[in-house]
Amino acid sequence: MDPIENPFAPGAGSPPPELVGRDQIIEQVRILAERVKRGRSEKSVVLTGLRGVGKTVLLNRLGSVASELEYRVVQFEGLEDKAFLAILAPQLRKLLYDLDRMAGAGDKVRRGLAALKSLLSTFKVSVGEVGIGLDINASPGVADSGELEVDLPDLMQSIGEAAVERKTAVALLIDELQYLDSEELGALIVSMHRMQQKSLPLILVAAGLPTLPALAGEAKSYSERLLSYPELGPLSREDADKAVRDPVVEREGRIRADALDEIYRHTRGYPYFIQMWGYQSWNRASRFPIELGDVKAASTVSVQELDANFFRVRFGRLIPSEKRFLRGMAELGPGPHPTGSVADVLKMRSTSLGPVRASLLRKGMIYSPAHGQLAFTVPLFDEFMRRAIPDL
Ligand SMILES: Nc1ncnc2c1ncn2[C@@H]1O[C@H](COP(=O)(O)OP(=O)(O)O)[C@@H](O)[C@H]1O
Ligand SMILES: [Mg+2]
Using alpha carbons, list the distances in angstroms from residue 133 to 96, 105, 211, 363, 388: 12, 19, 40, 39, 54
User: pLDDT tens digits for 81-95?
Assistant: 899 999 999 999 999
pLDDT at residue 222 is higher than 90:
yes
Count CB neighbours of 259 within 10 A: 25
CB of 52 shorter than 6 A to ligand 1? yes
pLDDT at residue 174 is higher than 80:
yes
Mean local confidence (pLDDT), 197-221: 95
| Structural domains present in the chain | 23-228 (3.40.50.300), 236-314 (1.10.8), 316-388 (1.10.10.10)
Q: What is the β-pairing status of strands 373-376 and 337-338?
A: antiparallel
Q: Which of 35-44, 100-109, 309-318 has the highest mean pLDDT?
A: 35-44
Q: How far is the CA of 117 from the centre of ligand 2 (A)?
A: 31
Position 155, amino acid: L
Ligand 1 pocket test target in 14, 23, 46, 57 with most atoms within 8 Å of CB: 57
CB of 233 shorter than 6 A to ligand 1? no
Beta carbons of 205 and 228 less than 8 angstroms apart? no
pTM of the entire structure? Answer: 0.94
According to the model, what pLDDT value does residue 139 have? 83
Mean local confidence (pLDDT), 338-365: 93
How much of the chain, in percent, has pLDDT values that exceed 90? 89
| C-alpha to C-alpha distance for 222 and 205, rounded to whole angstroms | 18
User: pLDDT tens digits for 266-300?
Assistant: 999 999 999 999 999 999 999 999 999 999 999 99
Count CB neighbours of 31 within 10 A: 12
Q: Which atom of ligand 1 is found nearest the CA of 207?
A: 21
pLDDT at residue 130 is higher than 80:
no
Q: How far is the CA of 76 from the centre of ligand 2 (A)?
A: 11
pLDDT at residue 238 is higher than 80:
yes
Query: What counts of helices (H) and strands (E) characterise the chain?
Result: 17, 8
Mean local confidence (pLDDT), 49-61: 97
According to the model, what pLDDT value does residue 79 have? 93
According to the model, what pLDDT value does residue 363 have? 86
CA angle 68, 71, 76 (to 5 degrees): 105
Residue 203 — φ and ψ, nearest 5°? Answer: -115, 155
| C-alpha to C-alpha distance for 115 and 345, rounded to whole angstroms | 55
CB of 14 shorter than 6 A to ligand 1? yes
Mean local confidence (pLDDT), 116-136: 86
CA angle 189, 376, 296 (to 5 degrees): 125
CB of 9 shorter than 6 A to ligand 1? yes
Mean local confidence (pLDDT), 333-350: 94
